[in-house]
Amino acid sequence: MREARAAPPPPDARQYCADIAAAAGAARNARQEKELLDIEQRIAKRTAELEAKRAELQDVLDRYDSLLKQTDERLVSIYGRMRPEAAAAQFANMEEDMAAAMLMRLQPKQSSAILNEMEAARAVVLTKKVAALSSLVGGGKKQ
């Protein structure tokens, strides 16, 4: 018994399939290229939007940093002009890190006068904080 084989397609059908396959592949490639271009345009647009937002946020941060610096300088100036006993009373109620940072910014003569007017236990705590912060800021090296 012989198996029945399908007859090969006529030559015109083969040519038609070859022609249509090439056209279909070209159409598929064109569609994919268009989709990629659309995606690239959306990415470029989104990147531009994000860059604009980043620039806006950087501007806000710069203004905020400037304001903090001005405020910090004013506070240092205010505490530097206070009588040591009045400043010591303020530093006694201030958060330790803030008080230590402020003492670091004052002139050594002003800081020592303020520490001298404080309760001894609080002065020791703040002095240790100043020393720890100084080693962090200076990398542990004497400057």
What would the pLDDT profile of 65-118 be if each residue is shown by its tens digit?
887 777 688 889 999 999 999 999 999 999 998 899 899 999 999 999 999 999
Residue that is last in its domain, among 69, 92, 110: 69
| Shared-domain flag, residues 44 and 19 | yes
Q: What percent of the chain shows pLDDT beyond 90?
A: 54
| Shared-domain flag, residues 92 and 123 | yes
| Shared-domain flag, residues 29 and 61 | yes
Q: Count Cα atoms within 13 angstroms, Cβ side, for 3.
A: 2
| Shared-domain flag, residues 64 and 14 | yes
Asked if residue 89 is part of any domain, the answer here is: yes
What global pTM score does this model have? Answer: 0.51
Q: What is the 3-state secondary structure (H, E, C) of 75-134?
A: HHHHHHHCCHHHHHHHHHHCCHHHHHHHHHHCCHHHHHHHHHHCCHHHHHHHHHHHHHHH
pLDDT tens string 45-65: 999 999 999 999 999 888 878
Contact 129, 97 (CB under 8 A): yes
Give the count of beta carbons closer than 10 Å to the beta carbon of residue 75.
14
Residue that is last in its domain, among 25, 48, 69: 69
Domain count for the chain: 2
Range of the structural domain that residue 45 is part of: 10-69
| Shared-domain flag, residues 86 and 65 | no
Asked if residue 63 is part of any domain, the answer here is: yes
